[in-house]
Chain A
């Protein structure tokens, strides 16, 4: 089983649509969760952290369900500029002990927002 799984897409949506991305993770020791955005031929950039209580940043809402080991990202009122690949990322302690962490990326979900 892959450590972080995402639907690869692509998701092709019209401007103004609402789109949801889902992610599951297998490592129950995971303690922090993030969504990154990666534009074509660019480095990944942090979009938002994900908290247990859920959090919102403008048109973006992230949710975490620890019991189900499931993370989601909702984008409302999609813009052309939202077109990118969205990466689900989890951070956990390594087996080697405290103070050592692993950062695991999903393969990403590609979003294309169409005029």
Chain B
């Protein structure tokens, strides 16, 4: 597609349920980033994928969070046993390799009730 696509746009879930968030990067972009942004706060790094290399998971806040990237393209961020503090906008970005700019999807707004 022309840009980074994320789905769903909005997700309301009950505390304790699992959720899956999807990111479809720009075609040909080998780097993919996940960030989280709570209301009125800055971007919090979660995880980074680069080609076939092992992902950098250093930003994942707990073992309830995991992500995978299949075939070097689509990525899924999974949050297990959701908590209210997981409520935030989850943003995905992709870029070409190297010191190039990244482009963001529109985000998934997650609300845990």
Contact surface of A with B, Cβ cutoff 8 Å: 31-32, 34, 42-46, 49, 87, 91, 94, 96, 99-108
Contacts and interface: CB of A to CB of B under 8 A. Distances in A.
Nearest to A91: B99
Contacts, number: 55
Given A32-B100, A43-B106, A46-B103, A103 B42 contact: no
Contacts of A42: 106
Give the interface SS of chain A, mostly helix, strand, loop or mixed: strand
B42 A108 contact: yes
The residue among A31, A42, A44, A106 with the most chain B CB atoms within 10 A of its own CB is: A44
Interface string B26-46: 000001010100000111010
B93 interface: yes
Contacts of B107: 43
A49 B100 CA distance: 9
